Amino acid sequence: MEPDLAERLRDVYRDLHTHPELSFQERRTAQLGAAWLRDLGFEVTEHVGTTGVVGVLANGTGPTVLLRADMDALPVQEATGLPYASQAEGVMHACGHDMHVTCLLGAAAVLAASRGDWTGTVVAVLQPAEELVAGASAMVTDGLFDRIPRPDVVLGQHVAPIPAGTVGLRPGPAFAATDSLRVTLYGTGGHGSRPETTVDPVVMAAATVMRLQGIVAREISGNDTAVVTVGALNAGSKNNIIPDRAELLLSVRTFDTVVRERVLAAIERIVRAEAQASGAPREPQIEITESAPAVINDPDAAERIRAALAGVVGAERVLDPGPVTGSEDVGVLAAAAGAPLVFWLLGGADPSAFAGAGDPRELARVAGSLPSNHSPRYAPVEQPTISVGVAALVAAARQWLGGSGDNAMA
């Protein structure tokens, strides 16, 4: 990557990190991305799925490659101490989406500057609201694939706390499906000194939380993977008042649809049974508020991308991270387009932290000790993360684009 481009991308990254925006509010980020793509000669469409941006660079006949980056930040108060830390109170790019946007814009610049070396169409998608697993669906519903050529492949990456200069790629199930649930338990409120006159939803909720822990431990095979997390329990307003309701917010991660159905059925069974056992005056309410399918990397396409990534970082630095229980909605774009998907991890952690950790288990141990995505202290190192992220997207795209020698699609 040319030094001038590297410096510009560093400035873009720091600007985005300083000015994070929550889901479906990414207006400044979208404007920055749209202006960058227009300057490169892309045909740009804005406001797709609310704040999404799509840039199309047609360069003769050949395959169409969709490169995707998400834009939204999280409601987290930053604690990195960086000189370019967030200036938005209580909002932070704690998941690295600023890095994703930066790398995509860099890849767009490299591809635009090398149009004499390839043919086909590059589609750059800046997607909103990944953190709500709603942005991809919003863009599709808003007619994304009526506005652009349907891609022959969908490509993307996610920065992670593995060493910068490495990438993680796994064919098949790569990221878990996600379901977010809101459970409302109803009781009968009253004075804290007279619990016998009430049906206490706090006790009901506590019993429910503990019972839910048995789903994975006792109802899911050790050969399968599932995660059930109660991330919030909200009830009451004062120590001597028993409230009339309690709310649980749950996160469920699975890879297999049968396991997913079993987990969701178990949650409903347990919630209703605990309410009945507590003498609840009415049935609990169970809502699925967010949902996205598992990210499934097409095996054949993943092998092509593995070769491309090896050319960027070396074969020994293309790691298999195993199934990731985090979730992504990028698969919605691929499914709607009827195209194969390849989505990989981009190393963003300081390589010096992994000195001497050559064994995969030791690498995993070190990674687990570092601030990770969604932490208020999470901050990828700028380099070589940006340069590798740009090169990875470019190399992956060139595996499909025509005029790329042996890599071109027949």
What residues act catalytically?
A: 72, 130
- CB neighbourhood size of 273 (10 A): 13
Q: What is the DSSP letter of 281?
A: S
Tell me whether residue 131 is annotated as binding.
Answer: yes
Rounded to whole angstroms, the Cα distance separating 395 from 308 reads: 5
What angle, rounded to 10 degrees, do the helices at 3-18 and 385-398 form?
A: 110
Amino acid at 350: D
Q: Which residues, in sequence order, are CB contacts of 61 under 8 Å at separation 6+?
A: 119, 120, 402
Q: Are 202 and 274 in contact (CB under 8 A)?
A: no
DSSP string for residues in 309-324 = HHHHH-GGGEE----E
**How many CA atoms lie within 13 Å of 393's alpha carbon, on the beta-carbon side?**
35
**How many CA atoms lie within 13 Å of 28's alpha carbon, on the beta-carbon side?**
12
Q: Are 363 and 357 in contact (CB under 8 A)?
A: yes
Nearest to 332 by CA among 323, 344, 341, 324: 341
Q: Are 399 and 298 in contact (CB under 8 A)?
A: no
The values of phi and psi at residue 141, to 5°, are -60, -30
DSSP-H helix ranges across 213-298: 214-219, 257-277
- CB neighbourhood size of 184 (10 A): 18
Q: Which residues, in sequence order, are CB contacts of 11 under 8 Å at separation 6+?
A: none
Rounded to whole angstroms, the Cα distance separating 243 from 195 reads: 11
Tell me whether residue 95 is annotated as binding.
Answer: yes
**How many CA atoms lie within 13 Å of 263's alpha carbon, on the beta-carbon side?**
28
Output the CA–CA distances (angstroms, integers) from residue 366 to 15, 359, 360, 371, 384, in the order listed.
Answer: 29, 11, 10, 10, 19
Q: What is the DSSP letter of 241?
A: E
Which residue is listed with tokens 């994304």? 144
| Known binding-site residue numbers | 95, 97, 131, 158
| Known binding-site residue numbers for Mn(2+) | 95, 97, 131, 158
